[in-house]
Structure 1
Amino acid sequence: MQEGILLSQSRTSGVYDVQGVWKVAINSSESAVDVNQLKLAAQRVISRHDILRRYFAESHRDGTSFLQLVLKHVTSGVQLVDFNTLEDLKQVTAHEEASGKAPGLPYLFTICQVPNNDVYLRLDINHALIDGTSTALLIRDLGLAYNNQLSPIGPKYSDFIAHLQTLSQNEAVTFWTEMLKETSPCHFPLLNERESADSQAFKTVEVELPDGQSNQLHDFCRQHDTTLANFMSTIWALVLSCFVGTDCNRVAFGYLASGRDVPIEGAHEILGLMITMITRQAEVESKKTVLGLMETMQDEFARSWPHQHREIHHALGLKAIPLFNTIVNVQRSTVGDTAAAGDIFFVPEMGHDPSEYEIAMNIKDGSEIWLSLGYWARCLSEPQAQSLLPFALQLPPFLRIRTS
């Protein structure tokens, strides 16, 4: 997965360049956030996690395109800046933020205190370093480090890499060759015919399900012994079948799995990219019921699970033409709207995570269910994106819709 992201970035500038902004607040009304202490906390987090001390370099060795260089110490990667408003911090361009980044370092923490004394943290980071679970861990560790409660030694990402190198490539290729032998490239069409200045922008539209509908969806999954992830994958397969045309005999898309169910001590505490991309495919037939399709997809997913960690697209000869251009991602929320650790807590203000895929269907499963559609403007216009989510679940039109 990591090498695939780096290869995509070498072809297309800007993909997988992740930005996040949080407001940093303090639980006590009698004190303020100390920006220097927060900077020191960020440096402690960098020292704890080996993934934040890595550089990527092109490789000329057979079997790999990139080498990872792990440094013992990194003294850069964190900067204090002055801006007048939060919006000024959000609007910093990649070129401007790079001026404070050490050459080759694939991330930068930016700490800013605006004139009203509010403190914000911005993180610009290469997706090859981090995933959603890791982001939550990083924010938690920042709070612990701020309070001098963070252990200086953490679980090593290198242990995960070592485990991957023990897995059989041949078994994975054999499995996926058989699984995908009747599957042809399945591409959602580019529907936005109006060229505009932001046609190369990656945008997001979000929908929150009402409490009643969220409960009904969870009840349905329990009743039919399936998961929300499999339910949403089935729905997306049905959506794709309506748009890809008759040339595609079987719909195909990617599914992001956490990748943390590995036999490594402390795997759920490792900071680093551990997600995997599992190819999901389905033959949508008029004679097959939705429940039948859901059951078939769940069975195939269970069979593919042991082979999720091996990159097989190149081995299957799919390098020139991608097998799919849409993905589904289900995230199980482990924190609320704020991430708290000790004296300080972090409130999300902005997130930007451009994918190489034309459409990314994201589902956040917590006390309530959020659906979001990340899309390239060359593929969908904003009205098309806003209508696609309700179409996917036949949702009523009164749902709150947020765009970015």
Structure 2
Amino acid sequence: MTADHTSSTPPEEMTTVVVDLGRPPYDTPALELRGPLGPARLEAALDHLAADNPDAPVWRHRIDRLGHEHHALRLAADDVHTPGDAFPYGLLADLLTRSTPARPAPTLVPTPLQRELLADADALPGRHLAQLAWAWHGPLDSERFHTAWQSVVDHESVLRTAFDDSCEPLLVRHEHTDAEVLWLPHGTARWPDVLEDDRRRGIDPRRPGALRVTVLAGAPAPTPPAEPARVLLTYHHALLDDWSARLLLRAFYRAYLADGRLPGGERRPDLRDYVRWLRRQDTAPARDFWTRAVPPRTAAAWPARHTAPAPAGPVGRTRLRLSAAQTERLAAWAARWGSTESGALQAVWSLLLYRAGGARAAAPVRFSVTASGRGIPFEGAPRMPAALSTAWPLSVEVAPHSTVATLLSDLRDRILERSAYEWLSPGQIRSWTAPQHHAANGTHSPTGTEDGTHSPTGTEDGTHSPTGTEDGTHSPTGTEDGTHSPTGTEDGTHSPTGTEDGTHSPTGTEDGTRSPTGTEDGTRSPTGTEDGTRSPTGTEDGTRSPTGTEDGTRSPTGTEDGTRSPTGTEDGTRSPTGTEDGTRSPTGTEDGTLLVFENRFRDPDDLTAALAARGIRVEHPETLGTPTAFPLTLVAHHDGDEQLVLTAVHDRSRIADATDVLTHSALLLGELPYVADDSTTVADLLRLLPAADTTTTPASPPTPPTGAAHRADTRPHAQAQPPLLPLRAAADARAGTVCLLQTPHVPRARYDRLARAYQGPEAVILLRAVPGGPHARYTALRPLARAGRLLVLGGFSGGGSTAYEIARRIAAAGGRPPLTVLTGAATGADRLARLLETAAAQAGHPGRTG
């Protein structure tokens, strides 16, 4: 990746400590120190131990330099009768790896939605990785192409923003990030292979550079027939939704036409302004509404009567298209009933859920729909690239003898009721719809704010401001960021209205015309979509977060010995769901489905004409089906030929093939304009489908993945889980085991990422914090220790004392004590994984020295 991975304030470099008890009789332990080690820090740690233990013997230390930032530390007591292992090596390791306060860095607390999406992606790798692809016909200047994208990155602060790796993730806004543009010459790869390789590579929201651009160059101009270039944008929904990607693409076109340069400085408003606005919102009306809008727990939620898991591949994609004529007829038919194509899709989905549920009388169904997050009274929301798209739970009663028109009307009314709450996250909604799992005052907020936002610096939007400006930057001009007008004009000029050209627009339309709905052409749109069509979801991306947790984990107790925490979790971490490990099922109690209907996004005519004047024609960009936390997501969008495209993205461990579900959806959508009139009932429409197969036993619930966001039983009284949790299987049956010790304040997802980053042949397990302290943990590990398979204990600062005591107990029982690797909580997963691999290789070597 070509992005600059350094923040405006470099992160503190952490010290890692490896504790080795040495050779039998294991009375001469040594510490191997990797990373910066100032004499003052070591002396301070030793003084701290001496002050806490005034009656202990005096210990002398010796440091041997082994290499750059690589030392060996040995200690010996003045009293020759004091055994060498009596020194509190574990506590010393904790002190040496403890983070020290760093100078302030410009940070921003993410929104509740962003925290949920990040936690979801940590638990389910590959989820919320989005791709937008299109074809480029005509000349393509590679240098101008790269320069234009760099200009967009410089202009949009969100593209220089990344999550940090702290326990409560913050957003770090970097001063500079290089645009990542990968250029593949013509003929070097097949386009399907490019897409698949890109998915496997993924994108890390913890690295600056929220967008990756890949170009597969077309055939040279003289080559007949002309073959277009293929362009792919890759991004993560925790930072950008699909609407944002299209906004950025439009900005890129303008930069490309302007010789690679966009006018003006950073765009405002941006996420900083949105967070400030979000913190001012009163959640009481929303809580009241959603408490009353709880979907029935017995509602049908799965559209297939039976499913079979498939072993091949975690994610499946199935796509089909309605013809342009079918799409046009469907839109006209839906408009007749005061609805839209998206409303028709919701009605069809409700019918499939009802049919699969096997009910004969009226019965409820439930699913989720997406909202763009831009139908909010925040100035500039439609033009701001950010992660705003959210998801709502939706439930409706389906009665076989009721008319289809009534079902459409019921769905429309439910969407309109929800339209005032596009700024809420799914986790906030869950906290109000599942009160038995939450405190009475809503979601858990470590800061006490109702929306879960946090301001460690005291500024309104949570950013750090060493200069006194609200965003932490120096502004000699008086504007909030020093580079651009706070009105949102692109060229930095003052616009009292917020329109891009400075003209007055009471409606927010770009040309200043009156639009009571917020549509760009001023037409009436009850939902605020740009083309005036009805979009009950308002979605552009359809993201979903299964976790409901807003910030990771929280430990008010700081216990390390596994004693019972008043929060209900075993390690003292905070669980807003009520489960003992703080995890949560993606829909709160059981699986469900998500409907995504992407808004139409048309480029202005002047932009299309300007590209054409240079001999360039770009096809309509299409999303490629983003995996979400739902086992089945149905995405609908219009392609460049105005055909309605349906894409099913499904978890193959839950449903092997979504072809039947997709085919039945398309069949009903195609037939609705012909058969559904004023008197057509739900039962009449269901007769169009093939007879349901009732002979097959429904599939058993899927096995929950090992990710932190899933758990089979989320009840507060669920039984405690075993102390040892496998995170990664051994690549070789003869390989040993690396055991990670769970530490308070460190989210469970950190251990999952660490296990995925580990590349050695050893198995990786997690030893939970259990009641009984080190003795209970040693008891859990004793079978592995006796078999000689336990090579390394690893973890973060705070677990050193427990790890050292476990190693001593193993040695006392006649086993070979494992090495202990301890590092600071801010150490990245990749770095710690490499350190663990080195320690495992050293521990497994018969000639290792103490």
Q: TM-score range by the shorter chain?
A: 0.7 to 0.9
Indicate conservation of the 8 Å contact 1:48/1:154, yes or no. yes
**In the alignment, what sits opposite 1:90?**
195
Indicate conservation of the 8 Å contact 2:376/2:422, yes or no. no
User: Any idea what the Cα deviations from partners look like across 1:147-183, whole Å, max 9, x if unmatched?
Assistant: 2263344243312333222222332222111111644
User: Any idea what the Cα deviations from partners look like across 1:188-240, whole Å, max 9, x if unmatched?
Assistant: 16744263423x223031222351x3333223223222233223212211111
**In the alignment, what sits opposite 1:22?**
134
**In the alignment, what sits opposite 2:593?**
326
Equivalent residue for 1:300, pick from 402, 414, 432: 414
CA–CA distance in structure 2, aligned partners of residues 166 and 201 of structure 1: 39
Q: Which structure has more RCO (C-alpha within 8 Å, separation ≥ 6)?
A: 1
Q: 1:17 to 1:185 in 2, by over 3 A?
A: farther
CA–CA distance in structure 2, aligned partners of residues 245 and 272 of structure 1: 41
Please state how far the C-alpha of 1:42 moved relative to its aligned partner: 0.7
Once the two structures are overlaid, the 10-residue window that deviates more, 220-229 or 80-89, is: 80-89
Q: After the TM superposition, which residues 44-55 of structure 1 pair with which residues of structure 2 at under 5 Å, given as runs? A: 44-55=151-162
RMSD of equivalent CA atoms: 3.4
Indicate conservation of the 8 Å contact 1:42/1:142, yes or no. yes
CA–CA distance in structure 2, aligned partners of residues 279 and 98 of structure 1: 28
Q: 1:173 to 1:380 in 2, by over 3 A?
A: farther
Please state how far the C-alpha of 1:145 moved relative to its aligned partner: 0.9
The residue identity in structure 1 corresponding to 2:251 is D
Q: 1:226 to 1:36 in 2, by over 3 A?
A: same
Q: 1:345 to 1:352 in 2, by over 3 A?
A: farther
CA–CA distance in structure 2, aligned partners of residues 293 and 144 of structure 1: 44
Identical amino acids, percent of aligned pairs: 19
SS in 1 for 2:170: strand
TM-score (norm 2): 0.41
1:109 aligns with 2:213: yes
Once the two structures are overlaid, the 10-residue window that deviates more, 177-186 or 120-129, is: 177-186
1:10 aligns with 2:114: no
**In the alignment, what sits opposite 1:346?**
618
1:138 aligns with 2:252: no
User: Any idea what the Cα deviations from partners look like across 1:276-300, whole Å, max 9, x if unmatched?
Assistant: 2122110112343222222222222
CA–CA distance in structure 1, aligned partners of residues 183 and 645 of structure 2: 35
**In the alignment, what sits opposite 2:342?**
229
Equivalent residue for 2:635, pick from 362, 366, 375: 362
CA–CA distance in structure 1, aligned partners of residues 390 and 207 of structure 2: 29
**In the alignment, what sits opposite 1:219?**
332
**In the alignment, what sits opposite 1:390?**
666
Indicate conservation of the 8 Å contact 2:337/2:408, yes or no. no
CA–CA distance in structure 2, aligned partners of residues 201 and 181 of structure 1: 27
CA–CA distance in structure 1, aligned partners of residues 167 and 664 of structure 2: 44
TM-score (norm 1): 0.81
The residue identity in structure 2 corresponding to 1:147 is L
Once the two structures are overlaid, the 10-residue window that deviates more, 349-358 or 263-272, is: 349-358
1:67 aligns with 2:170: yes
* Larger radius of gyration between Structure 1 and Structure 2: 2
User: Any idea what the Cα deviations from partners look like across 1:378-404, whole Å, max 9, x if unmatched?
Assistant: 4141542453333443649xxxxxxxx
Aligned length: 383
Indicate conservation of the 8 Å contact 1:373/1:385, yes or no. no
Once the two structures are overlaid, the 10-residue window that deviates more, 268-277 or 150-159, is: 150-159
Equivalent residue for 1:38, pick from 145, 152, 162: 145
CA–CA distance in structure 2, aligned partners of residues 357 and 102 of structure 1: 23
Q: 1:132 to 1:103 in 2, by over 3 A?
A: closer
Q: 1:277 to 1:206 in 2, by over 3 A?
A: same
Once the two structures are overlaid, the 10-residue window that deviates more, 376-385 or 132-141, is: 376-385
Equivalent residue for 2:164, pick from 52, 57, 61: 57
**In the alignment, what sits opposite 2:720?**
none
| Runs of 5+ unmatched residues, structure 2 | 1-112, 222-227, 438-576, 578-583, 673-850
More strand by share: 1
Q: After the TM superposition, which residues 164-183 of structure 1 pair with which residues of structure 2 at under 5 Å, given as runs? A: 164-180=278-294, 182-183=296-297
CA–CA distance in structure 2, aligned partners of residues 265 and 174 of structure 1: 26
Q: 1:204 to 1:166 in 2, by over 3 A?
A: farther
CA–CA distance in structure 1, aligned partners of residues 196 and 232 of structure 2: 11
Please state how far the C-alpha of 1:140 moved relative to its aligned partner: 1.5
Once the two structures are overlaid, the 10-residue window that deviates more, 268-277 or 8-17, is: 268-277
Q: 1:151 to 1:240 in 2, by over 3 A?
A: farther
SS in 2 for 1:139: helix
CA–CA distance in structure 1, aligned partners of residues 156 and 128 of structure 2: 21
Indicate conservation of the 8 Å contact 1:53/1:72, yes or no. yes
CA–CA distance in structure 1, aligned partners of residues 177 and 162 of structure 2: 11
